[in-house]
Amino acid sequence: MTFKKASILLKALVPALIIGLALCGCATSEEEKDSRPKDQVTVGFSQIGAESDWRIASTESMQSTLTASAGYNLLFKDGQQKQENQLLAMREFIDQAVDYIILDPITETGWDATLREAYDAGIPVIIMDRRVDTFDDSVYTVWAGSDFLLEGKRACKWLRTYLKSISFSGDVNIIHIKGTTNSSAQLGRTKALKSAAKKYGWNILMSEDGDFVQAKGREIMENALATYGDDINVVYCENDSEAIGAIEAIEQSGRRVGSDISGGEIMILSFDATRQGLLLTLNGKISVNTECNPEYGPVCDEIIGKLKDGLEVPHEMFMEESQFSAITDIKEIKVGDEIYPVTMVDRELIDARSY
Ligand code: GYE
């Protein structure tokens, strides 16, 4: 076909294409929005994945709170641990002209353009759990999450207090199983460990990304045991799933987990305090478990309620968190000028835990 013929054909086809598109029922985002019940709030939720019990609990919290009977139309997208999936989900939500977007960002950077698009489309974005590192913070409405650095400081201060309480004078040799690299939870918990290690002279023998996943926690611990063997006396796991994997590897190797590091046990420190994690804390396999609260459903419901009513919401909101142990000697720890209680874990507390 000559260029001239092709261009005549194209000219003839373009109007037909436009009419076709108009007739095919492809609704614009505004039409889509208008077709929804007026009293229903449409929320697009871009979740990271299902890598841990914590993550599953946070999804459940959202799905059981933002229900149809509570007036919500919740559009849920599982990012399967990939930022590009989360960005795609955000774009879809913007195209669908949802009323609100909730984003739990896998890592901190890379969100500027998409958040700006949501902002320009007039869709308020609630960032939950992990943070975003943006050029301009006003592109999102509110961030609600944990103080991950404080969580890490509490864990390290507990360890320091414990070592003093048993007058431990040997080397503290730590295997550090990190969470997903560049996620807020990893950055905060890792920063706390590194500065405590420097301050107290602890050795970090190995530091590897376990992606918050049990299988990777296990694999890293197997490698650590093969390389450092009996030198290891502490494992700092950045979540319960990794801790479960590490415990499996240690027990498989014939060593024992527990707080008696002078007697050859390997001490496990963990974060999240899920039901599984607390059970391991109760039986002494995890020595201290610093809580990270996954119950974002009620928090987001409250934020959306306020925004709907035109009320102010703070730009940052922190979750309430505790710390658990079965070692009765340490009832509290001090971080900076603040005293934090350490809650003794028991059966009743675990039974009351919904995740
Ligand atoms: O600790 C871990 C999860 O971002 C706080 O992500 C969250 C972390 C949590 O997969 O278990």
The minimum-distance atom of ligand 1 relative to the CA of 183 is 4
Region of 129 (left: φ > 0; alpha: ψ -120 to 50; beta: rest) is left
272 lines ligand 1 (CB under 6 A): yes
The minimum-distance atom of ligand 1 relative to the CA of 146 is 5
In the chain, the domains with their CATH numbers are 30-146+295-318 (3.40.50.2300), 148-292+322-352 (3.40.50.2300)
The minimum-distance atom of ligand 1 relative to the CA of 145 is 5
What is the token pair recorded at 36? 């929804």
d(CA 87, CA 46): 9
Residues 6+ apart with CB under 8 A from 309: none
Residue that wins the pLDDT comparison between 16 and 312: 312
Q: Residue 289: beta bridge partners?
A: 270, 324
Residue pair 250/221 in contact by the 8 Å Cβ criterion = yes
Quick: pLDDT tens for 39-50.
899 999 999 999
189 lines ligand 1 (CB under 6 A): no
239 lines ligand 1 (CB under 6 A): yes
Report pLDDT for 20: 44
52 lines ligand 1 (CB under 6 A): yes
pTM for the whole thing? 0.90
What separation in Å is there between the alpha carbon of 130 and the centre of ligand 1?
Answer: 8
Residue pair 40/72 in contact by the 8 Å Cβ criterion = yes
Quick: pLDDT tens for 55-90.
999 999 999 999 999 999 999 999 999 999 999 999
Report pLDDT for 36: 77
Q: Residue 267: beta bridge partners?
A: 234
> Which residue minimizes the CA distance to atom 6 of ligand 1?
55
What separation in Å is there between the alpha carbon of 32 and the centre of ligand 1?
Answer: 34
**Chain-centre distance of CA 322, in angstroms?**
17
Half-sphere exposure for 46 (CA within 13 Å, toward CB): 29
How would residue 28 be classed by pLDDT, with cut points 50, 70 and 90?
low
What separation in Å is there between the alpha carbon of 211 and the centre of ligand 1?
Answer: 9
Compute the average pLDDT of residues 167-173.
97
d(CA 181, CA 210): 9
Quick: pLDDT tens for 316-347.
999 999 999 999 999 999 999 999 999 999 99
Compute the average pLDDT of residues 15-36.
56
pLDDT at 191 over 90: yes
pLDDT at 21 over 70: no
End-to-end CA, the chain:
66
Residue that wins the pLDDT comparison between 20 and 248: 248
Residue 122, helix vs strand vs coil: coil
Pairing mode of beta strands 323-325, 267-272? unpaired
Quick: pLDDT tens for 114-166.
999 999 999 999 999 999 999 999 999 999 999 999 999 999 999 999 999 99
Q: Which of 248, 190, 192 is nearest to 217 (CA)?
A: 248
Which amino acid makes up residue 290?
A: T
